C-alpha cells in the first residue's frame, strides 16, 4: 500500500497541478463516458403499461420503462424529421422530461459525464474520432419473473433499444450482448452482468463506441466506504439479488467505467430507480437545469478514492508478481 500511495501522489503531482478538478477527472476516468438516467438518486423510476403511447415505431410489446420510452420517442422523432445529427443534449433531456410529464410521470432525467461537455452541442452515441471503430453494446432487461416486485416491461425495453441501435446507428447484432430473465437469453445474474461488463472493457479499443442499457430495479444501500455525501450507494439489482446481493456503484465504476481505455466513447442508459449517480461520474446536468450555467461539477467529488481504485486495479498484478518472486526467494533460502 506504500507503493500505491506514492504512485497516487506521483499521479497527482505530474503534468502540472493535478488537484484541478478537470485534470483529476481525466486521470480517474480515461474514457469519454456519458450516462442518461431516468431520475435523481432520491427518485423512483416508473413502468408504463403501453409504450405505444410514446409513439415508438413497431414497439416490442406494450409495457416498458418510462425513461427508455421517453428517450426513444425523442430520438425517433428527431430521426424522422432529419434533426438527429444536430439534436443537443439539453434538447434531448428536456424533450424526455416533456414526454414524461405528458404521460403523468414527474421523474427528472439527467445526464452525468466523465468530462465537462457543452450541453448545447449534439448528442453523440457513435465515436467520430475513428470511422473504423467497432460498435458494441450490452443490453440488460430484468422482469424478476416469479419474484415479489415483478416488472413487466424491461424485456421490451431491451428489444426496443436493440432495434434502435441497429437500425439508426448501425450497431451489428453480433456485437450485442443481451441479458434477460426470459429463459432464452443469458440470465442477468450478478456474475453474468459483471462478466458482461468486464468482457466489454477487455474488447474495447480507442475509437470504439459502446452502448450500455439497463432496465430493471435499482436500489440504495448504506455506504460503507465513506465516498457518498448522502450516505448511500446506488445499486443495480440483478435477478439473483437475494442470494448474490446487489451491484453497488463502486463496483460498476471499478469493473466498467474506470478500466475503459482513453479514446473509447461509452453511452449508458440507466432506466431504474435511484440511478442519478450510479456510475459515479463527476459532472451533471438535469433536464430542469440552467442551460446558461451548463453542466456542473459535482461538489465534493472524491477523486482520490477513484484514483486509488484505478491504481490498485492497474498495479495489483505487478505487485502480486513481485510478491511471488519475493516469497519464492524466501522459500529458497529457507529450503537451503
Catalytic residues: 217, 273
DSSP state, 286? E
Q: What number of other Cβ atoms are within 10 A of residue 71's Cβ?
A: 28
Helices (H) and strands (E) in the chain, counts: 9, 13
State the cell numbers at 199: 468482457
Q: How many CA atoms lie within 13 A of 281 on its CB side?
A: 32
Q: Three-state SS for 221?
A: strand
> What spatial distance separates the first Cα and last Cα of the chain, rounded to whole Å?
31
Q: What number of other Cβ atoms are within 10 A of residue 55's Cβ?
A: 14
Integer CA distances (angstroms), 314 to 125, 259, 260, 267, 311, in order = 28, 9, 12, 24, 5
DSSP state, 255? I
Pairing mode of beta strands 110-113, 135-141 = unpaired
CB proximity list for 67: less than 8 A, separation 6 or greater: 36, 37, 38, 39, 45, 96, 100, 107, 109, 269, 271
CB proximity list for 103: less than 8 A, separation 6 or greater: 48, 53, 54, 66, 70
Containing 314, the helix (H) or strand (E) segment is: helix 303-335
Amino acid at each position: 500500500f506504500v507503493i500505491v500511495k506514492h504512485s497516487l501522489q506521483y499521479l497527482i503531482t505530474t503534468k502540472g497541478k493535478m488537484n484541478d478538478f478537470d485534470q483529476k477527472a481525466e486521470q480517474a476516468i480515461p474514457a469519454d463516458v456519458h450516462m442518461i438516467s431516468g431520475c435523481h438518486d432520491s427518485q423512483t423510476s416508473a413502468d408504463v403499461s403501453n409504450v405505444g403511447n410514446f409513439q415508438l415505431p413497431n414497439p416490442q410489446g406494450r409495457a416498458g420503462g418510462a425513461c427508455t420510452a421517453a428517450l426513444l420517442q425523442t430520438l425517433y422523432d428527431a430521426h424522422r424529421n432529419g434533426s438527429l445529427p444536430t439534436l443537443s443534449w439539453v434538447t434531448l433531456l428536456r424533450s424526455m422530461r416533456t414526454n414524461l410529464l405528458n404521460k403523468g410521470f414527474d421523474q427528472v432525467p439527467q445526464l452525468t459525464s466523465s468530462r465537462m461537455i457543452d450541453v448545447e452541442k449534439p448528442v453523440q452515441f457513435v465515436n467520430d474520432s475513428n470511422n473504423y471503430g467497432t460498435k458494441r453494446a450490452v443490453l440488460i432487461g430484468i422482469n424478476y419473473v416469479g419474484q415479489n416486485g415483478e416488472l413487466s416491461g424491461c424485456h421490451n425495453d431491451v428489444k426496443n433499444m436493440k432495434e434502435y441501435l441497429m437500425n439508426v446507428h448501425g450497431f451489428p447484432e453480433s456485437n450485442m450482448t443481451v441479458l434477460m430473465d426470459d429463459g432464452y437469453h443469458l440470465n442477468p445474474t450478478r456474475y453474468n452482468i459483471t462478466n458482461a461488463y468486464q468482457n466489454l472493457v477487455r474488447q474495447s479499443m480507442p475509437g470504439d463506441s459502446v452502448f450500455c442499457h439497463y432496465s430493471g430495479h435499482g436500489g440504495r444501500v448504506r455506504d460503507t466506504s465513506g465516498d457518498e455525501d448522502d450516505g448511500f450507494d446506488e445499486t443495480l439489482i440483478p435477478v439473483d439479488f437475494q442470494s448474490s446481493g446487489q451491484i453497488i456503484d463502486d463496483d460498476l465504476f471499478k469493473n466498467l467505467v474506470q478500466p475503459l481505455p482513453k479514446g473509447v466513447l461509452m453511452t449508458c442508459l440507466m432506466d431504474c430507480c435511484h440511478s442519478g449517480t450510479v456510475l459515479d461520474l463527476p459532472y451533471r446536468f438535469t433536464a430542469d437545469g440552467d442551460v446558461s450555467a451548463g453542466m456542473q461539477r459535482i461538489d465534493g467529488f472524491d477523486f482520490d478514492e477513484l484514483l486509488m481504485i484505478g491504481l490498485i486495479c492497474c498495479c495489483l498484478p505487478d505487485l502480486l508478481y513481485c510478491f511471488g518472486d519475493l516469497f519464492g526467494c524466501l522459500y529458497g533460502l529457507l529450503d537451503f
